[in-house]
């Protein structure tokens, strides 16, 4: 095997976002583009001689080609072994599981998560550290710095590796181990949940429907739900991973998972429905004619964790991203455990979990997980719900409404405005910043906050976070308008898109009155929605009359 040193010049746009580097496929196909970023990773992480790397992705277009490049670069950069999923497949939760189980020197995950795929779609790459979690900001910033000064990369001249047969092969001095992408993860799930109780539930006429959205979780769902839990084969739909996700948008929400939604809201609906996303780390939970918000889902899992074998020892704490509703905070208070509010991005939960401060964590963007790995985990959340359903023997809706009756309902919604011009999105955010002084209370001047009907503004800020473990500070994490009664509006630019900007508005109010728990969320939040559009001047500045997606 010959190692080549290839001269290159930096690209200016390789700054990782909240989940690595995401660009259009054609951007990654530029000569040296992928290689530059991979070499920047290897130059940053200080690879020990003979180290092991995990590698895989969600199967989207360019996945296989990128894996062959990364294997040859890993061999040239001194790795002793790479564990790669068969066919190049490895869901993000499964990659975290493999990294932790085999104590690798981290892993490279190829995915753009819930973004569309195909030749004209998106691609992504990120590095996860040895704890199994996404690289923290200090590492991603170092990778970006390296990408701005790179002058050469190392790659081996060698034939491609056969990815569709399990077993070991050699690439120069490096071993490539093609592994079953499902088995390690499935065994971990079986160690956490009461599979016998779930099997009994499914054998007693309880019907489920899981939509893999032609993304990575199809093989995982078949193995776990069908082979190990005995669900009928047609319980899993769209189970074949496709490079373009069947032309769909692999984002498990009420808009894009429309086939599942139509089934759960139709006649003769299944008892339980769920979907996952492109790389398997997100989830959507549905009951018959009933949608469970991700914020409520996290709170309900925490309140019922004592019913699940892997969590019966109790929870150390709960963490949620700032835009996620405070429903989990109420459960934490009842359990007498801490609840941490972090910026968006799973990497912020990693320190808390490694320090033993939290057990469960979640984001409103359909991501939920625990300290069993260091990524959010879609199938894990589905199994957690099935375990609760098997133990409580109640429908999904009844469990949610009993939870609201006990803790009150945090009425919540997210409005996404996707693909808007970046200048317009930045203009909205700047306008909000400019209005802080006008909106919030100023006790020194004897002035209260702005009044909007029965709602009065208490404070406005741009959320910042000080990590309680390492003291690092993350600023500019989202604009908050906080009201005296606990209601709030949050504006945030998402870091997961590749085209234009995605502006998200999060709306939340607390309703303790059970007689009002039946109200539709958009109806209950109508006043907050009106305030949000007014103070931000969003329609005038973007030309958008309505959100792209409402969840």
User: What are the residue numbers of the active site?
Assistant: 113
Sign of CA dihedral 167, 170, 173, 179: negative
Radius of gyration over every alpha carbon of the chain, rounded to an integer in angstroms:
23
Backbone angles phi, psi at 156, to 5 degrees: -90, 140
The answer to whether 477 and 347 are in contact (CB under 8 A) is no
The whole-angstrom separation of Cα 96 and Cα 99 is 5
Q: How far apart are the first and last CA of the chain?
A: 52
Q: Which helix (H) or strand (E) holds 407?
A: helix 396-407
The answer to whether 21 and 124 are in contact (CB under 8 A) is yes
The whole-angstrom separation of Cα 317 and Cα 482 is 25
CA 335 from chain centre, in angstroms, equals 26
The whole-angstrom separation of Cα 332 and Cα 352 is 15
DSSP H stretches of helix in 495-525: 521-524
The residues with which 362 forms a beta bridge, in sequence order, are 320, 368
The residues with which 28 forms a beta bridge, in sequence order, are none
The answer to whether 347 and 136 are in contact (CB under 8 A) is yes
The residues with which 363 forms a beta bridge, in sequence order, are 367
Burial of residue 13 (CB within 10 Å: 0-12, 13-18, 19+) is exposed
Token digits of residue 537: 């001047």
Strand-strand pairing, 465-466 and 473-474: antiparallel
Backbone angles phi, psi at 383, to 5 degrees: -65, -35
Burial of residue 436 (CB within 10 Å: 0-12, 13-18, 19+) is middle
Strands (E), 215-353: 236-237, 272-276, 283-287, 290-292, 318-321, 339-342
Strands (E), 358-472: 360-363, 367-370, 409-420, 451-452, 455-462, 465-466
Backbone angles phi, psi at 290, to 5 degrees: -155, 130
The answer to whether 381 and 368 are in contact (CB under 8 A) is yes
Cα dihedral: 332, 333, 335, 340 (round 10) = 30
- Cα angle vertex 151, ends 107, 63, to 5°? 35
The whole-angstrom separation of Cα 481 and Cα 491 is 9
The whole-angstrom separation of Cα 267 and Cα 222 is 25
The whole-angstrom separation of Cα 327 and Cα 303 is 11
The whole-angstrom separation of Cα 92 and Cα 501 is 24
């Amino acid at each position: 095997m010959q190692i080549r040193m290839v001269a290159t010049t930096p690209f200016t746009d390789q700054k990782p976002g909240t989940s690595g580097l995401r660009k259009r496929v054609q951007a990654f196909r530029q000569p040296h583009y992928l290689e530059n970023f991979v070499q920047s990773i290897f130059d940053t992480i200080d690879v020990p001689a003979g180290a092991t790397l995990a590698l895989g992705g969600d199967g989207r277009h360019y996945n296989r080609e990128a894996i062959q490049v990364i294997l040859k670069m890993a061999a040239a950069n001194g790795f002793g072994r790479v564990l790669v999923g068969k066919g190049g497949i490895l869901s993000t939760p499964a990659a975290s599981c493999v990294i932790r189980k085999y104590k690798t020197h981290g892993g490279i995950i190829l995915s753009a998560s819930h973004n569309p795929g195909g030749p004209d779609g998106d691609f992504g790459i990120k590095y996860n550290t040895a704890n199994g979690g996404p690289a923290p900001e200090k590492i991603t910033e170092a990778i970006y710095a390296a990408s701005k000064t790179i002058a050469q990369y190392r790659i081996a001249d060698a034939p491609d590796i056969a990815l569709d047969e399990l077993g070991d092969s050699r690439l120069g001095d490096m071993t490539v181990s093609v592994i079953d992408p499902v088995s390690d993860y499935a065994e971990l799930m079986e160690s956490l949940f009461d599979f016998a109780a779930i099997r009994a539930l499914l054998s007693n006429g309880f019907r489920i429907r899981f939509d893999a959205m032609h993304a990575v979780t199809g093989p995982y769902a078949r193995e776990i739900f069908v082979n190990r839990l005995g669900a009928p084969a047609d319980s899993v739909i769209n189970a074949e991973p496709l490079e373009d996700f069947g032309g769909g948008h692999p984002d498990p929400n009420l808009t894009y998972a429309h086939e599942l939604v139509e089934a759960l809201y139709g006649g003769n609906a299944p008892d339980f429905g769920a979907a996952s996303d492109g790389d398997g780390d997100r989830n959507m939970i549905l009951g018959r004619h009933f949608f469970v918000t991700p914020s409520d889902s996290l709170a309900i899992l925490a309140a019922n964790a004592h019913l699940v074998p892997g969590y019966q020892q109790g929870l150390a704490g709960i963490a949620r991203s700032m835009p996620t509703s405070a429903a989990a905070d109420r459960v934490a208070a009842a359990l007498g455990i801490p609840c941490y509010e972090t910026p968006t991005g799973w990497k912020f939960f990693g320190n808390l979990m490694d320090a033993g401060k939290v057990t469960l964590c979640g984001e409103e963007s359909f991501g939920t997980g625990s300290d069993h790995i260091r990524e959010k985990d879609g199938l894990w959340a589905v199994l957690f719900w099935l375990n609760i359903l098997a133990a409580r023997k109640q429908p999904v809706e009844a469990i949610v409404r009993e939870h609201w009756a006990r803790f009150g309902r945090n009425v919540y919604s997210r409005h996404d405005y996707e693909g808007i011009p970046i200048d317009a999105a930045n203009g909205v955010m700047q306008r909000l910043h400019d209005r802080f002084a006008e909106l919030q209370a100023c006790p020194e001047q004897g002035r209260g906050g702005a009044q909007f009907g029965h709602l009065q503004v208490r404070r406005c800020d741009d959320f910042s976070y000080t990590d309680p473990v390492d003291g690092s500070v993350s600023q500019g994490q989202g604009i908050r308008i906080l009201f005296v009664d606990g209601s709030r509006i949050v504006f945030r630019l998402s870091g997961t898109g590749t085209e234009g900007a995605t502006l998200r508005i999060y709306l939340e109010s607390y309703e303790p009155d059970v007689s009002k728990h039946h109200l539709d969320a958009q109806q209950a939040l109508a006043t907050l929605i009106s305030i949000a559009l007014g103070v931000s001047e969003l329609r005038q500045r973007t030309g958008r009359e309505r959100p792209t997606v409402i969840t």
